[in-house]
Amino acid sequence: MARGSPARGPDPRRRGSGAGTRWRVAFNAFKRINIIQRHLIMSKHTDATEEVLLEKKGCAGVITLNRPKLLNTLNVNMIQQIYPQLKKWEQDPETFLIIIKGAGEKAFCAGGDIRVISEAKNANQELAPVFFREEYMLNNAIASCQKPYVALLHGITMGGGVGLSVHGQFRVATEKCLFAMPETAIGLFPDVGGGYFLPRLQGKLGYFLALTGFRLKGRDVYRAGIATHFVDSEKLGMLEEDLLALKSPSKENVAAVLENYHTECKIDRDKSFTLEEHMDKINSCFSANTVEQIIENLQQDGSSFALEQLKVINKMSPTSLKITLRQLIEGSSKTLQEVLTMEYRLSQACMRGHDFHEGVRAVLIDKDQSPKWKPADLKEVTDEYLNNYFKSLGSNDLKF
Question: Does 20 score more than 70 pLDDT?
Answer: no
Report pLDDT for 126. Answer: 81
Identify the band that residue 22 occupies on the pLDDT scale cut at 50, 70 and 90: low
Residue 121's pLDDT is 76
Prediction pTM value: 0.87
Residue-level pLDDT at 10: 43
C-alpha dihedral, 345 to 351 to 353 to 356, nearest 10°: 120
pLDDT in tens, 195-253: 999 999 999 999 999 999 999 999 999 999 999 999 999 999 999 999 999 999 999 99
Q: CA-to-CA distance for 242 and 103, rounded, in angstroms?
A: 19
Is the model's pLDDT at 9 over the cut of 50? no
Query: Which of 42-46, 75-79, 198-202, 341-345 has the least mean pLDDT?
Result: 42-46
| Cβ partners under 8 Å of residue 185, min gap 6 | 213, 315, 316, 317, 359, 363
Query: What's residue 359's pLDDT?
Result: 97
Q: Bridge partners of 64?
A: 53, 101
Enumerate the H helices of 224-290 as residue ranges: 236-244, 251-264, 279-285
Task: Provide the percentage of residues in the chain whose pLDDT is more than 70.
Answer: 87
What is the pLDDT at residue 101? 98
pLDDT attached to residue 50: 87
The pLDDT tens digits of the residues spanning 349-371 come to 999 999 999 999 999 999 999 99
What pLDDT shows up at residue 45? 42
Q: Report pLDDT for 230.
A: 98
pLDDT tier, 158 (very low <50, low <70, confident <90, very high otherwise) = very high
Task: Please answer whether residues 286 and 207 qualify as being in contact, where contact means their C-beta atoms are separated by less than 8 angstroms.
Answer: yes
State the fold for domain 52-396.
2-enoyl-CoA Hydratase; Chain A, domain 1 (3.90.226)
Query: What are the extents of the domains in the chain?
Result: 52-396
CB atoms within 10 A of CB 132: 24
The average pLDDT across 245-269 equals 97
Q: Above 90 in pLDDT, residue 159?
A: yes
User: Residue 44: pLDDT above 50?
Assistant: no
Average pLDDT over residues 32-61: 66
Q: What is the mean pLDDT of the chain?
A: 91
What amino acid positions are annotated as catalytic residues?
112, 160, 183, 191
Whether the predicted pLDDT of 18 surpasses 60: no
Q: Where are the alpha helices (DSSP H) in the chain?
A: 17-45, 48-51, 76-91, 114-122, 128-144, 160-163, 194-197, 205-212, 219-223, 236-244, 251-264, 279-285, 291-301, 304-313, 318-331, 336-352, 355-360, 383-390
Query: Does the structure show a pLDDT above 50 at 72?
Result: yes
